[in-house]
Amino acid sequence: MERKKIHLEYLLNATSKSILWAAISTPTGLEGWFADRVQSDDKTVTFFWGKTEKRDAEIIAVRAYSCLLYTSDDENEREYFELKMTNNELTNDFVLEITDFADIDEVGDSRELWESQVDTLRRTCGF
């Protein structure tokens, strides 16, 4: 099945880069909005949803207070998953940029899922 790259941007009314960075870069932060449970060592992160769904990812790049880049255990080695935070200089708010991949017929569902997850992030962190 053909896969498509998805790039999403969310403006967050966040004034603390430390709070946002912790939410996207630590197991505890990710458990607050992204996955039910997160286990991590220095290079590998395992995300759990419900009782049966699990995904392993390798951290291939980290730029503190900027971005995290993961590869997945999926078949396509060119695919990755990225969480990136940037600062909007006009408003001084932060923008969360998400890059992911989805089957061509599931792009809409993936976008809706990310919308829901980011809404949870906003509520959890007060953004």
The answer to whether the beta carbons of residues 68 and 58 sit under 8 Å apart is: no
**pLDDT digits (tens), the chain, 127 positions:** 789 999 999 998 877 889 999 999 999 999 999 999 999 987 899 999 999 999 999 999 999 999 999 997 666 678 899 999 998 888 888 999 999 999 999 999 999 999 999 999 999 888 8
Predicted local distance difference test score (pLDDT) of residue 86: 92
Predicted local distance difference test score (pLDDT) of residue 89: 82
Predicted local distance difference test score (pLDDT) of residue 42: 79
The answer to whether the beta carbons of residues 112 and 1 sit under 8 Å apart is: no
Strands 80-87 and 94-103, by their bridges, are antiparallel
The answer to whether the beta carbons of residues 72 and 55 sit under 8 Å apart is: yes
Predicted local distance difference test score (pLDDT) of residue 93: 86
Predicted local distance difference test score (pLDDT) of residue 75: 66
The answer to whether the beta carbons of residues 35 and 100 sit under 8 Å apart is: no
